[in-house]
Amino acid sequence: MRMPTSFTVVPVEDGGKSSRGHDSDENNVLREEDEEGPGDGNPKESSPFINNTDNDKGTLYDGKNMALFEEEMDSNPMVSSLLSNLANYTNLTQGVREHEEADEEEGAKKKAVTSPQMGTFIGVYLPCLQNILGVILFLRMTWIVGTAGILETFIIVAMCCTCTMLTAISMSAIATNGVVPAGGSYYMISRSLGPEFGGAVGLCFYLGTTFAGAMYILGTIEILLTYIVPNAAIFKAEDKEHEAEALLNNMRVYGTCCLALMSIVVFVGVKYVNKLALVFLACVVLSILAIYAGVIKTIFEPPDFPICLLGNRSLQNHNFDKCLKTEEIDNVTVTTQLWGLFCDGPSLNASCNDYFRDNEVTQVQGIPGLLSGVISENMWSAYGPSGMLVEKINFPSRPATNTSQDVYMPYVVNDIATFFTLLVGIYFPSVTGIMAGSNRSGDLRDAQKSIPIGTILAIATTTFIYLSCVVLFGACIDGTVLRDKFGDSVKGNLVIGTLSWPSPWVIVIGSFFSCCGAGLQSLTGAPRLLQAIARDGIVPFLEVFGHGKANGEPTWALLLTAAICETGILIASLDAVAPILSMFFLMCYLFVNLACALQTLLRTPNWRPRFKFYHWALSFLGMSLCLALMFISSWYYALVAMMIAGCIYKYIEYRGAEKEWGDGIRGLSLNAARYALMRLEEAPPHTKNWRPQVMVLLNVDSEMSVKHPRLLSFTTQLKAGKGLTIVGNVLEGTYLTKETEAKRAETNIKSAMSAEKTKGFCHVVVSSNLRDGFSYLIQSAGLGGMKHNTVLMAWPGTWKQSNDPQSWRNFIETIRETTAAHQALLVAKNVDSFPTNQDRLGEGTIDVWWIVHDGGMLMLLPFLLRQHKVWRKCKMRIFTVAQMDDNSIQMKKDLQTFLYHLRLDAEVEVVEMHDSDISAFTYEKTLVMEQRSQMLKQMQLSRTEREREIQSITDESRSSIRRKNQPGSSGSSTRRQSAQLEDNKADEAQLIHDRNTASHAAMNDKADAAPERVHMTWTKEKFFTERNRHRVEPNANMGVRDLFNMKPEWESLNQSNVRRMHTAVKLNEVVVNKSQGAHLVLLNMPGPPRNRGGDENYMEFLEVLLEGLNRVLLVRGGGREVITIYS
């Protein structure tokens, strides 16, 4: 547990001035408060400094030298404060020792933490040595040398050791690039490549460590049952062919018991495992020394381990004592025990096996010695299928005529089929364990110096041991003994034990305890790794494994580890389990190399390792070698391991907690994005590649919640996650005052985007007025060639009821802005009735009313919508309007041909609209519209007049002040000047306020033109009376009608407005008649008038055009073709 120290500076005033403090010291008192704070010793990710505590924020600042920066002290501490925190940093031990101390103290006050004192040799070199040398060396190395031959085994060892050496170089660079707390390789990968990669590789490393525990336990049981107490076997085979199955069953039973025992030991007290670590290490070192001593002894006096050959076949030397067919006792020839194994009876006339009868029995030395020249025989490989007899190369024999009975004879045979790639997978676990030093970084005096030196030295040492062992085994031991996996030909001795000095039992006991220790350490380390992953919170369903005993011991993680380990034990074969954990370790090493290569190539500013002897090419080579070894060992295991890692990656990406660890993948994404943007031309894309890159203009309410979330649903349905989506919003005000609201709005919009599954970016702008804000968004959103080309917004449904005319003015100005920017515009009317992403629209239609051609956007949108499952069942109908002079039949044929070339399936209908007289209804609509327009003009006019009155009053007051301030007595001049200044300031403040109040309206009014004919005059009193009466009446249209007591003649109306209203009415009748039941109606959007004086009339035209329709999407093209008939 960490003990953060917070310093509180308490200022004490001088004696005469101090009235409330109890301290009498003249100087400031520096009071140190020691508090026990929560934590596990890991620096918080959110903190840029190592020992930053929240208590520091309360530190009082007293001084004048740095007063300019005092308001920023909370966020930007003084350099002296930072250096002090760094100096007080203690890299506490993570893991077992800390938990055991917590147990022993039982709540007592902790002693002062002493700084870690482990050096390179004890802290890194020996742990790595112990973890690397292990079960494969003692149980399988001789067999691999005999099967693959010295040359190919040398290649296998060199490849695997090169892989780990390159990984160690990459790991050293990462480990020396800052502090590596608990978690070792998992921490390094996750903080370098991000939580997704970190979680995936961390879990793979966990599975590898767990299966390593299973492998060590299986090795322990194999040594126990095969070499120490063979009679302890529960399952015993009746005949030779069932021996392998009986051995596997014994491994399962004893392995399960051993796992249970080890789990209990780990659960009860891991400190005993740590105390025994030195014993286990001593066993490993003594065993290695015994092997080298035995090799040297063979030069002078080879050990006596004879093997018995029948012809050139090696025999299992269990059930006979003499390598003879017959022997003479008292001048009488009698048969031996060996005779009884191959013949029906002990008599000389008994029926015997053909091969036994035709070949002689020969006894040769199994360990001929270093100078015997046996190295030439062992140079080449001897692969073969399962059940193949182990034979001595270049030894005379007569071939057998009948081999059907060989399986029942006491020959030494291959228990599995052997080939090069299998041996790579079996051997690789013997070079794992290189992470042992980095996992102990908390115990080291100088981790950034010790980890690289210790790890690389340990790998160099073990590489020398392995390579020398390959040559020495091949030079000292006969090939038939090397290929004898279980030592059956040397009376059941461990093959590597026969070479050792002074006794084979040194190796047997040493390897037994070595495997026990390695198994215990795997069961200790794996749960803690799982606990570190669970506590990071990146994999939600693993969070339960982050809990444990009161002292932090990972109880639940230990249970899961034991369960997974049991699956490895049930496999029961060491040769089958080894390739599995090879995959997981290789994947882990691959990503360590990838992390180093990425950081180096990206030149991340934070990438400053103290270890300088690395290069991205070495890391890339290591990564390639890891990948190659994975597929060489077992391509199907490699695919399964990659699939598991991929599934975990996608799960963390989809469900995991969001973590920001400053990882390299984000840097890679940034570089890739920059490269792609540079490649993406600023010129518009080809018509074939055009797709709507949408800017969605959203509105928020006073609570900063999204007003129309269905607009986001529609965007999702239109985009289906492809291309660019920018969701924009404008807040009115200044950024300094609206910063909090802007961030809250951005958070709410992102939440709404997530809920509606809209993939894109959010952009909230604070502007002095909404109209300018939308203009900024349309102009500047996007980056380089990645800019939007389409604007989507909701129809302002309350524009008639709104007292603020800017609501609809902003809408019209946005239309003009998009047109000027050559961007398409989509306006959704009744957007709240649009379907959600969960809806599934049944049989229905999407109706396209193609009035004018402005780039083919109308054709493209229904096609894109129908790709989404919401609209998939809808059919597309295209309507076009034929005038009096058009041939509607030919138009229909041409349109069908056009659609055929566009590869679009749609029904085509041509609607004829003949010229007709303008109806009274149209005149009435136009009349009401112009009257409403006139009323709005008068409202604006009254505001302008009010501003002019204020201006004239201000001017008069200023002139009167000037007259008063003519030169007078010198005594009162100062007072007059000060009064004048105050009056001027007051007048200017009032003037500025009044100007700002009406400035935006005045700007817009300058562009407004007067109506062609105005038949009414207004007074201010009449206007307010009528407006108040209008507010209380329920029917707005009737209110406007009553407001104008006199009805003007229709001839006095603006004829241009009448014609436009006529078009809107007639077109609306046709559209409602044909498409009232459609799921969606797409319609060309008429452009706003060039004369801004008719803006309010334009809104009326659109309202009439859309009347009676439910879901409408008004479409306005961007002035370029977006769909083509060419491939």
What pLDDT, on a 0 to 100 scale, did the predictor assign at position 169? 93
Is the pLDDT reported for residue 136 higher than 50?
Answer: yes
Mean pLDDT highest for which of 42-46, 634-638, 658-662, 1012-1016?
Answer: 634-638
Q: Which long-range contacts (CB under 8 A, 24 or more apart) does 1004-1008 make?
A: 1004/809, 1004/1092, 1005/940, 1005/944, 1007/1092, 1007/1093, 1008/937, 1008/940, 1008/1092, 1008/1093
Is the pLDDT reported for residue 448 higher than 70?
Answer: yes
Q: Which tokens is 592 given?
A: 């360590």
Is the pLDDT reported for residue 984 higher than 70?
Answer: no
Give residue 774's pLDDT band: very low, low, confident or very high (50, 70, 90). Answer: confident
- Phi, psi angles (nearest 5°) of residue 470: -60, -50
- Residue 501 to residue 300: CA distance in whole angstroms: 13
Is the pLDDT reported for residue 458 higher than 50?
Answer: yes
Find the range with the poorest average confidence among 68-82, 620-634, 808-822. Answer: 68-82
Give residue 147's pLDDT band: very low, low, confident or very high (50, 70, 90). Answer: very high
- For residue 170, which amino acid is it? S
Find the range with the poorest average confidence among 363-377, 838-852, 923-937. Answer: 923-937
Is the pLDDT reported for residue 300 higher than 90?
Answer: no
Find the range with the poorest average confidence among 46-50, 334-338, 908-912, 1023-1027. Answer: 46-50
Burial class (CB in 10 A: 0-12, 13-18, 19+), 115: exposed
Average pLDDT over residues 85-103: 42
pLDDT digits (tens, 9 = 90+) for 994-1049: 444 444 444 444 334 333 333 333 444 544 554 454 444 444 444 344 333 334 44
Beginning with the edge strand found earlier in the chain, give each strand of the sheet holding 824-829 in spatial order. Answer: 761-767, 725-732, 694-697, 790-794, 824-829, 1112-1116, 1080-1084, 844-850, 874-882, 907-912
What pLDDT, on a 0 to 100 scale, did the predictor assign at position 427? 93
Helix 709-719 and helix 735-755, axial crossing angle in degrees, nearest 10: 60
Average pLDDT over residues 621-633: 93
Average pLDDT over residues 294-318: 88
> With the CA atoms of 605, 610, 615 and 618 taken in that order, what torsion angle do they form, in degrees rounded to the nearest 10?
-130
> Are 456 and 185 spatial neighbours (Cβ–Cβ below 8 Å)?
no
Which is nearest to 377 in space by CA: 363, 395, 401, 396?
A: 395
Is the pLDDT reported for residue 89 higher than 50?
Answer: no
- Residue 947 to residue 941: CA distance in whole angstroms: 10
Query: DSSP string spanning 499-539?
Result: HSSS-HHHHHHHHHHHHHHHHHHHHHHHHHHHHHHHHHTSS
* C-alpha dist (Å) from residue 648 to 182, 201, 534, 554, 658: 22, 9, 13, 22, 15
What HEC string does 404-464 produce? CCHHHCCECECCCCCCHHHHHHHHHHHHCCCCHHHHCHHHECCHHHHHHHHHHHHHHHHHH
- Of 1059 and 441, the structure prediction assigns the larger pLDDT to 1059
- Residue 147 to residue 144: CA distance in whole angstroms: 5
What pLDDT, on a 0 to 100 scale, did the predictor assign at position 538? 81
- For residue 298, which amino acid is it? T
Is the pLDDT reported for residue 187 higher than 60?
Answer: yes
Give residue 867's pLDDT band: very low, low, confident or very high (50, 70, 90). Answer: confident
In 10 A of CB 634, how many CB atoms? 19
Give residue 254's pLDDT band: very low, low, confident or very high (50, 70, 90). Answer: very high
- Residue 399: which residues within 8 A CB-CB, separation 6 or more? none
- Of 488 and 562, the structure prediction assigns the larger pLDDT to 562
pLDDT digits (tens, 9 = 90+) for 368-422: 988 888 899 899 999 989 888 888 888 888 887 777 777 788 888 888 899 999 9
- Of 569 and 1058, the structure prediction assigns the larger pLDDT to 569
What pLDDT, on a 0 to 100 scale, did the predictor assign at position 586? 92
Average pLDDT over residues 595-624: 86
Is the pLDDT reported for residue 49 higher than 60?
Answer: no
- Residue 130 to residue 112: CA distance in whole angstroms: 32
Is the pLDDT reported for residue 483 higher than 50?
Answer: yes
Give residue 949's pLDDT band: very low, low, confident or very high (50, 70, 90). Answer: low
What pLDDT, on a 0 to 100 scale, did the predictor assign at position 630? 93
pLDDT digits (tens, 9 = 90+) for 519-559: 888 888 888 888 888 888 888 888 888 877 766 678 888 99
Find the range with the poorest average confidence among 55-59, 134-138, 308-312, 799-803. Answer: 55-59
Is the pLDDT reported for residue 956 higher than 90?
Answer: no
What pLDDT, on a 0 to 100 scale, did the predictor assign at position 971? 45
What pLDDT, on a 0 to 100 scale, did the predictor assign at position 986? 45
What pLDDT, on a 0 to 100 scale, did the predictor assign at position 946? 55
- Residue 168 to residue 619: CA distance in whole angstroms: 10
Helix or strand run (H / E) with residue 55 = none
> Are 319 and 308 spatial neighbours (Cβ–Cβ below 8 Å)?
no
Find the range with the poorest average confidence among 275-279, 592-596, 655-659, 718-722. Answer: 655-659
In 10 A of CB 180, how many CB atoms? 25
823 has which bridge partners? none
Average pLDDT taken over every residue of the chain: 76
- Residue 874 to residue 907: CA distance in whole angstroms: 12
For 1079-1094, letters b (16+ CB in 10 Å) and e give bbbbbbbbebbeebbb
- Residue 1051 to residue 612: CA distance in whole angstroms: 91
Give residue 456's pLDDT band: very low, low, confident or very high (50, 70, 90). Answer: very high
Average pLDDT over residues 970-990: 46
> Are 411 and 325 spatial neighbours (Cβ–Cβ below 8 Å)?
no
Which is nearest to 754 in space by CA: 722, 783, 727?
A: 727
Q: Which tokens is 141 given?
A: 């190395």
Q: Which tokens is 877 given?
A: 């109908």
pLDDT digits (tens, 9 = 90+) for 786-833: 888 899 999 887 777 766 667 778 888 888 888 888 889 999 998 889
> Are 317 and 486 spatial neighbours (Cβ–Cβ below 8 Å)?
no
Prior bond to 306 cis, omega within 30?
A: no
pTM value surpassing 0.75: no
Which is nearest to 496 in space by CA: 217, 291, 220, 229?
A: 291
- Residue 826: which residues within 8 A CB-CB, separation 6 or more? 694, 790, 791, 792, 793, 861, 1113, 1114, 1115, 1116
Is the pLDDT reported for residue 428 higher than 90?
Answer: yes
What pLDDT, on a 0 to 100 scale, did the predictor assign at position 757? 86
What pLDDT, on a 0 to 100 scale, did the predictor assign at position 424? 93
Average pLDDT over residues 922-936: 64
Which is nearest to 474 in space by CA: 490, 457, 459, 495?
A: 495
What HEC string does 623-658 produce? HHHHHHHHHHHCHHHHHHHHHHHHHHHHHHHHHCCC
Average pLDDT over residues 692-699: 89
pLDDT digits (tens, 9 = 90+) for 663-678: 556 666 777 777 777 7
What pLDDT, on a 0 to 100 scale, did the predictor assign at position 802? 61
Is the pLDDT reported for residue 75 higher than 60?
Answer: no
